[in-house]
Amino acid sequence: MTTVRQEIARVVAAIDPADTLEARHRAVVTDWIDSGAELYRLVPPDQPPMHLVSYFVPFDAAAASLLLTAHRKSGLMLPPGGHCEAGESPWRTVQRECVEELGIPAVAPPWLGTEPLFVTVTETQGATVRRHTDVSLWHVIDVARTDQRLRPDPREFDGVRWLTLDELSTEPAEGLDPHMHRFARKLRVAWPRPSA
């Protein structure tokens, strides 16, 4: 029987790095999983000091747009997401957090499924956050910009913005997750546009 740790290791190993930084991050994460270290945050905000996070990027393929949130704690525009709970798979985290943070069920895009597209290792920042390292698995979910069920949680976010991939490429990097532009470039390449 496959353990959750083995499944997370498989998911990380299946990510095809878009660049040398992602390849380095994937190697760091693989070594961390193989070390037997605790993967889950047990005591907020920073124990253990390195722990697993699932981002989920709402993507409207018809509009080539994604949704970012004005995250209260970090002060950055980030995809929604959250810490994986003990024993929880990354996709299960996406399902739980999507309902909690956006009020909608998580729907995996047919071209990607429930697998993450991207992996990063990032030291957190923000005036109200004790620094720690997030191992983030970036998933994509299907969401239409016009979905009236979308209800971003005001306790988590000061607001949300839909940005086209082109608009996102011109957003100043200092206001975003430090890997946001790299993720968007990878999404642009991975996303199979419908044939004309």
- Provide the pairing of β-strand 133-142 with 50-60: parallel
pLDDT digits (tens, 9 = 90+) for 144-154: 999 999 999 99
Q: Is the pLDDT of residue 169 over 90?
A: yes
What is the span of the domain harbouring residue 40?
4-190
Q: Assess if residue 195 is contained within a domain.
A: no
pLDDT digits (tens, 9 = 90+) for 76-90: 999 999 999 999 999
pLDDT digits (tens, 9 = 90+) for 116-157: 999 999 988 655 557 889 999 999 999 999 999 999 999 999
Residues 117, 186: Cα–Cα separation, whole Å: 8
Q: Assess if residue 196 is contained within a domain.
A: no
Q: Assess if residue 84 is contained within a domain.
A: yes
Q: What pLDDT, on the 0 to 100 scale, is given for residue 1?
A: 80
Tell me the two tokens of residue 169: 């490429």
CATH number of domain containing 165: 3.90.79.10
Total domains in the chain come to 1
Q: What pLDDT, on the 0 to 100 scale, is given for residue 54?
A: 98
Q: Is the pLDDT of residue 162 over 60?
A: yes
Residues 38, 108: Cα–Cα separation, whole Å: 28
